[in-house]
Structure 1
């Protein structure tokens, strides 16, 4: 008997520059999905989401964040919905749908509980409900387990610091005031634990946001709940939804309750679910699954923006999981973020600084290879400039963030005004190009 398949719908970190541009050429579902979403955006006086994604050049995450919050969130929601439609159109019918945080809305729409247009309206209502909470708290991923992370609020005497998400055995997301998270970061550095702020505007999954629950419910009043056509399991409520549930109330409660993704994955695996497919950009959730229950089949069809159609076809196939040909070392502090992780623009400096003489791209690449080989315990010849660090070598984004911090220090990039984002730097070649460009050093042939 074949094992059962889960579609995973990621949260607010699931944006990748240029996402779906390649898939759009071969799959009509992309334009069909965003046509409906653009109509909802127009209701609110917003520009078309499709224009931001598919016209002219692809927008970076920083550029998307400069737009009204609804546009980025509708883009993430639409990416999940288009991916789901394409995979089902290929003949892959999921046995279960699971959404992570913000992704629960996409999971419920994919299950038929809400129309696509009303799903887009749910996204907009959520933005409205959280408008007053923007900038009032932060979230950060720390590469340690629930028990260790759970000691931080007491040890730091920071009762407003809470665990917002449990994503993998050694990946926990903290939520709380910026000052409390800053103190937690100092502890993480002292213990040599990976730590990264998440690029999110809210301290989600925090009990202090309880007033937003009632606001969200009120804003959803005109949206009609429909019968479920596919089963949906919530990693927040830890059960399957039913038609007897008030799903709008359940979505509102997701604003303040923690995401227990690790427990959910283990429970599903024990129940016979062996195939996990990321219905959205990047591979944040499938990587968490791999770290939680090694050996299962995972597919992240949009991980490589140059091969989206091939990725979608592979994910829809029933052939055995693709295996990495390179050796994969599992870092002792491995863990993935609840959202795409970024390296801070100005991390703490190390005493030894790099000389200011010009450096060639070849020299930068050589130093990068040495740094990554030592940190990851890979043979240097595996670390070619083309190999995909996450998709092919399994280096999770939280580990990559720690390494990018070292790159910033090594090449004295702390004065750079932008940030190094792991999803925009998937290979050593990309990182080398970024270093040479941002350092302002002359490229020597």
Structure 2
């Protein structure tokens, strides 16, 4: 571990409510990081504290923050990555190199020592303020967005050139079969239509702004003015930038480079290949969800890609499993909660990630449990082949109908295939397909009912 290990810091979409509920109750690092964020942004930028919004029993959903409070969302993404990074390092997991994806580059720089957590939070807050003032609703460049296309960069470049709209560019090269474009709304519609007719899957990215394109030039200028005087420190760890295509150096003008990120392309696939060619064979996603982990697996199937938190699973359990794998043995794991105490009564503390206790049942011998990650991978491949979409669009919580356009008739047909493959009982006449509109819910159905238990309607 270490010499061949990279920590990956995700950007947009890397948000899970369970980080702020369950993980926060077990690991003091979550509250610590967000307290540092609050102290810095409230003191220097007059931003309201975000801990009261996030660190509660019912934090807002990703969609709610996207629609009503994108500034808080950006700080939530940043803080989540650094909290998970702090947990991993406290457990003895040390990387050789750090890599950020888009917004995640700020968290990577902080983890490397170039900024403190508070200073990085100020960078994120000023980035949001510049975006809001120069590219938010009501501005000349506010009507823009991003599309994820299920094709390689060369094919997508041809499509962009064919449409020929001002401001429409390739924004992100994610994997051999996923490229993201950014541009004005008027240009995204024909891109979507042409891609569909060409057999290329096209999915709208839930992003508050058209990142990594010329529409954000004014925001980049404003952002640079606001952060050019920020103090920075020497790097303690190397950071590789998919935007720059190189490692940062101690001589870099970080204010200028971070501002330029808003309009420059993210070469994530190229970064993965470079790191692998230079000895990296373990990639650990320091953030919520497993978006980057899936991209690594699609781009470099021979390496080990590890997600620390996954939608639909306990973040405490998934982090424990990640630490176990990275350390090559079981983590020390006494329960953090006393026998007669509730989690609500126990203050956050730095305790080892707990093991999940085994359940003794002598009345029967259970079948070997299905591996949820394996089930997700299996049904992802099945659905992708059936509808001819790239596997990358099938995240655990993407809505099959609302987001991907897979109607209820097709979903019912596909679920019947899942039932046959995994030994689910026959679906009853009153079965409601709408309850199982994401792969995460379908996987949970398989795990729970794969041995003949009646399927709930």
TM-score normalised over the length of structure 2: 0.75
2:196 corresponds to which of 185, 189, 194:
189
Partner of 1:60: 61
Q: Check if 1:297 corresponds to 2:304.
A: yes
Do the aligned partners of 1:137 and 1:202 also contact (CA within 8 Å) in 2?
A: yes
How far apart, in 2, do the equivalents of 1:349 and 1:242 lie? Answer: 45
| Structure 1 pair 324–346 and aligned structure 2 pair: CA distance change class (3 A) | closer
Identify the residue that residue 81 of structure 1 maps to in structure 2. Answer: 82
2:162 counterpart of 1:162: no
Equivalent-residue separation in structure 2 for 1:6 and 1:308 (angstroms): 20
Per-residue deviation, 1:40: 2.9
Aligned to 1:318: 327
What are the within-5 Å matches in structure 2 for residues 26-425 of structure 1?
26-43=26-43, 44-131=45-132, 132-134=134-136, 135-304=142-311, 306-316=313-323, 317-319=326-328, 325-326=374-375, 328=378, 329=381, 331=384, 333-336=389-392, 368=411, 370-372=413-415, 380-382=420-422
2-structure distance, mates of 1:383, 1:84: 39
Query: Take 1:293 and 1:430, find their aligned partners in 2: how far apart are those partners?
Result: 28
CA contact (8 A) 1:3 1:274 kept: no
Structure 2 equivalent of residue 396 of structure 1: none
Q: CA–CA distance in 1 between the matches of 2:292 and 2:231?
A: 29
Counterpart Cα distance in 1 of 2:25 and 2:294: 27
C-alpha deviation, 1:286, in angstroms: 0.9
Q: Is the 8 A contact 1:284 1:338 kept in 2?
A: no
- 1:53 Cα offset (Å): 1.9
Alpha-carbon contact 2:20-2:56 (below 8 Å) kept: no
> Shift of residue 412 of structure 1?
9.3
1:303-347 Cα shifts (integer Å, max 9, x gaps): 145421222222223339x99555744846535369998559868
- Number of residue pairs matched by the alignment: 386
Shift of 1:153: 2.0
User: Residue 189 of structure 1: CA displacement?
Assistant: 1.9
Does 1:426 find its partner at 2:433? no
Which blocks of at least 5 consecutive residues in structure 2 are unaligned? Answer: 137-141, 330-370, 426-431, 447-455
Shift of 1:237: 0.3
Give me the whole-angstrom Cα distance separating, in 1, the residues matched to 2:404 and 2:90. Answer: 49
The CA distance in 2 between the partners of 1:348 and 1:107, in whole Å, is: 32
Distance 1:36 1:199 in 2: 28
Q: Deviations over 1:43-79 (max 9, x none)?
A: 3444432222221313211222344332111111000
Superposed CA RMSD in Å reads 3.5
What residue in structure 1 maps to residue 453 of structure 2?
Answer: none
CA contact (8 A) 2:20 2:59 kept: no
Distance 1:221 1:194, change over 3 A: same
Q: Specify whether residues 373 and 231 from structure 1 end up closer, same or farther in structure 2 by C-alpha distance, changes over 3 A only.
A: farther
Q: Which residue of 1 aligns with 2:358?
A: none
Unaligned 5+ segments in structure 1 are 355-366, 386-409, 414-419, 433-443
Does the 8 A contact of 2:18 with 2:315 survive in 1?
no
| Alpha-carbon distance change, 307 to 122 in structure 1, aligned in 2, over 3 angstroms | same
Runs of 4+ in structure 1 off by over 4 angstroms are 322-327, 330-333, 337-350, 410-413, 429-432
| CA deviation profile, 1:380-420 (whole Å, cap 9, x unmatched) | 333869xxxxxxxxxxxxxxxxxxxxxxxx9799xxxxxx9
Alpha-carbon distance, 1:379 to partner: 7.1
Residue 283 of structure 1: CA displacement? 0.7
**2:25 is matched with which residue?**
25
**Alpha-carbon distance between aligned partners in 2 of 1:384 and 1:338, rounded to the nearest angstrom:** 22
Residues 187 and 108 (structure 1), Cα distance of their counterparts in 2 relative to 1, 3 Å cut: same
Per-residue deviation at 1:28? 1.2
Contact 1:197 / 1:342 at 8 angstroms: preserved in 2? no
Q: Deviations for 1:112-149, whole angstroms, at most 9, x for unmatched residues?
A: 10111110000011011111212331101011111111
**Which deviates further from its counterpart, 180-189 or 275-284?**
180-189
